[in-house]
Amino acid sequence: MKEGRHNYEYDVNTNSDSAAANVVRFVGNGKRVLELGCGPGSITKILAAQGQCMVTGMEFDSAAIEKATPFCQTILQADLNAEDWPRLLDEMDRFDVVVAADVLEHLYNPWRTLEQMAHLINESGYLVISLPHIGHAAVMACLMSGDFEYRDWGLLDRTHIRFFGLKNIEQLVTKAGLKILDVRYITVPPKKTEFAAQWANSSKQVRQTLRSSPYASLYQVVIKAAPASRSDAGISLTPEQVMLATPSALKRRMDRLTRKFRGLIRKRPSATIKS
């Protein structure tokens, strides 16, 4: 971490496939946004500057509020574990988008919080949430080695009190009366995570077994959701989609398409030139 930075302060490359970049894409441009747990404004400043969004932030940490304030139209100090936090917004119009980027896993009752979030969007509004995925192969390697070490950031952040697998994420959304409209799967190979050392120290057999899981490289999930009563078609989260999202799978698909394209070129009859 750079000196003077807040623990949750980071740079967002909007051209990347990171969770934060996908949150920004799902939010869109020119929206009235409520960002829960905005932290020091890592995503907030992108929404405000590049997306021309009008952001209302909610955050508990005073140091983070000080850093995020320049990027918000309004910022409110709130404890999202308190049942009455939505009352702070009673005098405001409903929002186009409500964002909770890597926030729900820090809460005692994320199911209730997500349900409350759904009441804060307008008739055409939607929610954007991102969650870490506990079933990543590197985390499983830590468990198998008996070394489940809490850290200052990442999938085992010491402030995480809820952990979600893919099915749990879908149940979280459904229980809140919502449906998933779109999803992005953020995949990271085990050796590229903060658990690279534990992964490297695992036996070859353990690594092979863990790699066989369809969720082996799934690091985070970013979801766009709306009330289930809407006419928009909902989608499910499936292992097949996750496998297609991995870099190796994408490369295999591109290789197949390239081979198919080359085959079509070879089969194409030569043009006959008439005099």
CA dist., res. 162 & res. 146, Å (int) = 20
Cα 17 to its chain centre, rounded Å, is 10
Q: Which stretch of DSSP H or E encloses residue 227?
A: strand 218-227
What domains lie within the chain, and their CATH numbers? 19-236 (3.40.50.150)
Q: What is the pLDDT of residue 153?
A: 77
Q: State the pLDDT at residue 154.
A: 81
State the pLDDT confidence band at 250, using cuts at 50, 70 and 90. very low
CB neighbour list of residue 105: distance below 8 Å, 6 or more residues apart: 131, 132, 157, 160, 161, 162, 163, 164
For the entire predicted model, the pTM comes to 0.85
Q: How many CB atoms lie within 10 A of CB 12?
A: 18
